[in-house]
Amino acid sequence: MTAQHSPLHPMTYSTRGADPATAPAFLAPLDQVGAGLPGSGLSWLTDLRAAGRERFVAVGLPTIKNESWRYTNLRDLAKIGFRPASPAAATIDLLPTVRAEGQDGPRLVFVDGRFRADLSSIEGLPPGVELLSIAAALTSHTDLLADHIGRLAVADDRPLVALNSAYLADGPVLHVPAGIQVERPIELVFVSVGSEAQATSCHPRSLLIAEAGSKAVVVEHHVGRGAGTTLSNHVTEVFVGEGATLHHYKSQREGGGAIHLSHIAATVATGGCYDNFILTTGAKLSRNEVVSRLDGTDARTHVSGGYLVRSTQHADTTTLIVHAKPNGTSREVYKGVIGDTARAVFQGKITVCPDAQKTDGYQLNRALLLSDGAEIDSKPELEIHADDVKCSHGCTAGELDDDALFYLRARGIDRDTAQGLLIGAFLSESLEEIAEESIRDAFQGIVAGWLEEQK
């Protein structure tokens, strides 16, 4: 383990777009809960929290002057006055799952950011695989946490990561030791309940570690069960070891009062593969950041997904793929459907470092606009510092094909069903990126449900 708790990839310090005035609204409640956070005897953790707090005090929420936040404005969040969600024992029924009826498997459930042992199960995991909450791991697995937490998700240039670190208390930990293959999907369920009387916030942290030669499939569900305004500011750190494979699928279908902010930071060692797919259908405001770094040679990453938004929803997808070493492969296929006056943002950047010769990078973002008021802001970016690479990107926005729509209607299919068929067909290109069939089917079911509501 590292004596000093240093990030793997230090970033440049920047205060561009800082708005420190927004910080107190988010940090004041911390003074009340701060002392009660678990693990207060661990110096690395108190340091990490203090550093996060200090950084957030200095910069506050990101503003649209920050290039990476140009299209997503968080200004109004500071006015809402969030309180940390109280760890209430809300009754939760009908937990989402990708499993067939009657099938069980490992699952951790977090309600408003806090672990709920009564709803969770670790049955069916191979021996040696560890799946537990951070709150528990702070007592039983301190070295594992100290070695990993805060090493990928760096607070310097990311105010929301700083805020998450300041509040760091709970979230899931998965540790798959070297050589172990976990066949059954591991489900991580995050439920926002909140309160109708008070806007609430939580800041869960996830830690996913797949050691050399191991394999695991993680499925995340983010759902809402309340009518109040909730803020989930989630940070995930992912370590994929040599020759390991981690499939990481996420469905965000929180309720209409939800604000969902997520930062996923992954590192992939030699010959490893990090496969990420995010399906966004929920929350009034969401931002999914995915940073995947190929830090070993011959590593692969897939960063794909779909976003389906309507009404006045705003969904931001901001990805960064860093090819740091030679012979890496990255593939990114995002498809979006935007209706009414909803707005989607796609910012996809691929960086190829000078060392990363023979890189093969592919990026595609296609958006389908269902109405005149719908908007997509798309910004693909390639930054290439090596000369022997193959990188391509494509980016389109369009409407439903009138010819196809008429053809279907001329065969007796009503307009809504015809549109549904065409939207489903449009999205299938990204859903096909999901390698696991059962999960692809489950996600297709979520899309079908969305289309049904569209009628």
Partner 1 sequence: MIEIKNLHATVDGKEILKGVDLTIRPGEVHAIMGPNGAGKSTLSYVLAGRDGYEVTDGSVTYYGKDLLAMEPEERAAEGVFLAFQYPVEIPGVGNTTFLKTAINAIRKYRGEKELDAMQFLKLIREKTKALGMSDEMLKRAVNVGFSGGEKKRNETLQMAVLEPKFAILDETDSGLDIDALKIVAEGVNALRSPERSMLVITHYQRLLDYIVPDHVHVLAAGRIVKSGDKELALELEKNGYRDFGVSEAA
3-state secondary structure of 422: helix
What are residue 382's DSSP bridge partners?
A: 350
Cα separation, 207 vs 240, in Å, equals: 11
Q: Cα(first)–Cα(last) distance of the chain, in Å?
A: 55
The residue (of 227 and 407) whose beta carbon lies closer to partner 1 is 407
- Evaluate whether 397 touches 376 at the Cβ level (below 8 Å): yes
Q: How far is the CB of 448 from partner 1 (least distance, A)?
A: 12
Residue type, 116: R
Which residues are CB-neighbours of 338 under 8 A, at least 6 positions away?
Answer: 307, 309, 310, 344, 367, 368, 369, 370, 374, 375, 376
The residue (of 198 and 428) whose beta carbon lies closer to partner 1 is 428
The residue (of 21 and 425) whose beta carbon lies closer to partner 1 is 425
Q: How far is the CB of 337 from partner 1 (least distance, A)?
A: 13
The residue (of 80 and 413) whose beta carbon lies closer to partner 1 is 413
Number of C-alpha atoms within 13 angstroms, CB side, residue 2?
13
Q: How far is the CB of 410 from partner 1 (least distance, A)?
A: 5
Q: How far is the CB of 400 from partner 1 (least distance, A)?
A: 11
The residue (of 183 and 414) whose beta carbon lies closer to partner 1 is 414
Scored b (16 or more CB within 10 A) or e, 238-251 reads bbbbbbbbbbbbbb
Cα separation, 220 vs 276, in Å, equals: 11
Q: Is 98 exposed, middle or buried (0-12, 13-18, 19+ CB in 10 A)?
A: buried
The residue (of 274 and 277) whose beta carbon lies closer to partner 1 is 277
Q: Which residues bind partner 1 (CB under 8 A)?
A: 401-404, 406-415, 417-418, 421-422, 424-426, 428-429
The residue (of 129 and 369) whose beta carbon lies closer to partner 1 is 369
- Evaluate whether 213 touches 242 at the Cβ level (below 8 Å): yes
Q: How far is the CB of 305 from partner 1 (least distance, A)?
A: 17
The residue (of 309 and 408) whose beta carbon lies closer to partner 1 is 408
3-state secondary structure of 285: strand
Q: How far is the CB of 99 from partner 1 (least distance, A)?
A: 24
165: tokens are 């670190």
- Evaluate whether 422 touches 404 at the Cβ level (below 8 Å): yes
Q: How far is the CB of 419 from partner 1 (least distance, A)?
A: 12
Q: How far is the CB of 247 from partner 1 (least distance, A)?
A: 23
